[in-house]
Structure 1
Amino acid sequence: MMKEGLIKKKEAWFESWFDTTYYHLLYQDRDDKEARFFIKNMIDNLKPDHNAHFLDLACGRGRHAKFLSELGYDVTGIDLSESNIEFAQQFANDTLHFEVGDMRQPFGENRFDYIFNLFTSFGYFDSYDDNLSALKMMKRALKPDGVLVLDFMNVNKVRLGLVEEEVRQVENIEFHIERFIRDERVIKKITFEDKGHHYKYEEKVQLLDKGDFEKLFQEAGFTITQVYGDFDLSEYNRRDGERLILVAE
């Protein structure tokens, strides 16, 4: 029996895949230490006021929002996945809040001092207009002197070093992963079997480079003030850098 991850009508891949327990199982070993290192470096660089209000946009299960809160800031986490937000609510307190929301739809006006969109949580949508709508909503939600930090993969390095096939054993499940580039998207097909059922999911992320973001940011009303190439905030290197990290106002 084949269970398809993409069978629901008009449901985007991220709406089905991110809500599964298998997604979190596959990526359970993501490096929290590295994430905390990056966030701490960014905070040291931005030097926010102690009463600044942060938004972690596409917050997942809330781990990074929780870390920001532990640094002493008022933090809101927003994610499209209801199950992610339900999980994150266990961390909620007087200065840490979570909401279900779509970044393409309004989520406030003049509400936040800083918006963090981290770890390639952008480029999932099908169209340029959706990307632009998301950035316009971020601009709207920021206070007049607010700052956006958007962290994305360095697509040039991805193109050069794409691992086409991989098998990953996690607990009792063997995930078969196939990667390829099509229509200016990096596509990851994930297949596995569990309890006698076969599953198939897909991830698709647009290959947006620095020039693409510069155009989008300008149209959304942002001015890019800093560009970094890794979590240590080193200089952006188009060919060899690990990340594309944009700071904009």
Structure 2
Amino acid sequence: MDLKRFERITQKPPIYEKGNCEMWNDDHISKILLETHLSQESDLASRRKPAIEKTVGWILDRLGKENAKILDLGCGPGLYCEMLTEAGHDVTGVDLSKRSIDYAKKSAEESGLNIEYINKNYLDLDLSEKFDLVMMIFCDFDVLNPDERDNLLEKIYSVLKPGGMFVFDTMNDNTPAIMNPGEKSWEATASGGFWRAEPYLALTESFHYEDEKVILSQTIIYSEPDDYRIYRFWTNYYNSSDLKQILEGRGFSDVTCYENVLSTEDFYCAETVDFYTAIK
């Protein structure tokens, strides 16, 4: 192990600097992620079914429309898409993970549900269709840097019908107290684990960029003889004033914050997650 290199790459990086690896289409990690999405024992990748059902009901109450065209960005294995389709809506789901999209397509086919799934980074999406509702759930909005966020908001605005709604959830100003920036942990495994099938050493540390309201969770994976993988997960957190300014600056109106949509038992629960609607 090159300790000087290790010391260098474990330092706090410039804000929004990307790591050298992503996990969404890693063959080993994506398999475990899909299992986590589908598990009712954990809500680390997707919320559990009762929370999803509650969220879908809440979204449809806000929408107040039958036979709507809905776009789900970051749809994962299609858990929300299937419920929305069963409620009579025309749904398109988009996700970066090929494994999740493959599962979603198979599940829809087996259930006799007509859902369009697109395996693509939604930042690169180019759709000509128009939608009554665009949704981003499980705080996907928070992982975007400001340029990505503004680019995506322009895309969302362009695909919404006049009067269409954008619905999303986001971490709020209580986030630092929950995520504990500055916390460090490590893991050594001789038989493989979440990050790799082979033996590895994992060092995880979180950093707080207070002025920008951003928290980074950084995990560095070392495997012999000389493999260093850096995974960086950026989380922006917002309050209603922040988002009102951002969304209105992109043409949206009637930006509304809803607190306590989730229960206190949910992961990143009601105390730390707010939901928003915005109208084109």
TM range (shorter): 0.7 to 0.9
Identity in percent: 21
For residues 257 and 232 of structure 2, the distance between their equivalents in structure 1, rounded to whole angstroms, comes to 30
For residues 82 and 231 of structure 1, the distance between their equivalents in structure 2, rounded to whole angstroms, comes to 30
* Structure richer in strand, relative to its length: 1
- Out of 166, 170, 173, the residue aligned to residue 193 of structure 2 is 173
**Closer, same or farther in 2 for the Cα pair 1:42/1:24, shift >3 Å?**
farther
Is the Cα contact below 8 Å between 1:15 and 1:80 reproduced in 2? no
1:214 CA drift (Å) = 1.5
Determine if the alignment matches structure 1 residue 47 to structure 2 residue 67. no
- Out of 131, 146, 163, the residue aligned to residue 145 of structure 1 is 163
In the alignment, which residue of structure 2 is the partner of 1:66? 82
1:228 CA drift (Å) = 0.7
Unaligned stretches of 5+ in structure 1? Answer: 235-239
Is the Cα contact below 8 Å between 2:218 and 2:232 reproduced in 1? yes
Any idea what SS the aligned residue of 1:55 has? Answer: strand
Any idea what SS the aligned residue of 1:119 has? Answer: coil
1:62 CA drift (Å) = 1.9
- Out of 49, 54, 57, the residue aligned to residue 37 of structure 1 is 54
Q: Deviations over 1:30-75 (max 9, x none)?
A: 13222222222222343221x1111111112222222222223211
* Runs of 4+ more than 6 Å apart: 193-198
In the alignment, which residue of structure 2 is the partner of 1:204? 234
**Closer, same or farther in 2 for the Cα pair 1:14/1:110, shift >3 Å?**
farther
- Out of 128, 135, 153, the residue aligned to residue 135 of structure 1 is 153
Question: What is the root-mean-square deviation of aligned Cα atoms in Å?
Answer: 3.6
Is the Cα contact below 8 Å between 1:116 and 1:149 reproduced in 2? yes
For residues 18 and 175 of structure 2, the distance between their equivalents in structure 1, rounded to whole angstroms, comes to 23
Determine if the alignment matches structure 1 residue 188 to structure 2 residue 217. yes
1:9-28 superposed matches below 5 A = 16-20=22-26, 21-22=28-29, 25=32, 28=36
Q: Deviations over 1:132-161 (max 9, x none)?
A: 11011101111112111011111x111223
How many residue pairs get aligned? The number is: 234
**Closer, same or farther in 2 for the Cα pair 1:15/1:75, shift >3 Å?**
farther
Is the Cα contact below 8 Å between 2:71 and 2:134 reproduced in 1? yes
For residues 226 and 133 of structure 1, the distance between their equivalents in structure 2, rounded to whole angstroms, comes to 21
Unaligned stretches of 5+ in structure 2? Answer: 3-8, 10-16, 37-41, 195-201, 265-269
Any idea what SS the aligned residue of 2:140 has? Answer: coil
- Out of 87, 93, 101, the residue aligned to residue 85 of structure 1 is 101
For residues 62 and 117 of structure 2, the distance between their equivalents in structure 1, rounded to whole angstroms, comes to 25
Determine if the alignment matches structure 1 residue 113 to structure 2 residue 132. yes
In the alignment, which residue of structure 1 is the partner of 2:116? 97
Is the Cα contact below 8 Å between 2:105 and 2:117 reproduced in 1? yes
1:77 CA drift (Å) = 0.3
1:188 CA drift (Å) = 0.9
**Closer, same or farther in 2 for the Cα pair 1:68/1:165, shift >3 Å?**
farther
For residues 205 and 36 of structure 1, the distance between their equivalents in structure 2, rounded to whole angstroms, comes to 25
For residues 82 and 220 of structure 1, the distance between their equivalents in structure 2, rounded to whole angstroms, comes to 31
Is the Cα contact below 8 Å between 2:184 and 2:204 reproduced in 1? yes
Is the Cα contact below 8 Å between 2:170 and 2:275 reproduced in 1? yes
Any idea what SS the aligned residue of 1:129 has? Answer: helix
1:205 CA drift (Å) = 2.1
In the alignment, which residue of structure 2 is the partner of 1:226? 256
Is the Cα contact below 8 Å between 1:56 and 1:116 reproduced in 2? yes
1:198 CA drift (Å) = 7.2
TM-score by length of 1: 0.76
Amino acid at match of 1:117: M
Determine if the alignment matches structure 1 residue 246 to structure 2 residue 276. yes
Amino acid at match of 2:251: G
1:167 CA drift (Å) = 6.8
**Closer, same or farther in 2 for the Cα pair 1:198/1:15, shift >3 Å?**
closer
For residues 221 and 12 of structure 1, the distance between their equivalents in structure 2, rounded to whole angstroms, comes to 29
**Closer, same or farther in 2 for the Cα pair 1:178/1:92, shift >3 Å?**
same
Amino acid at match of 1:173: G
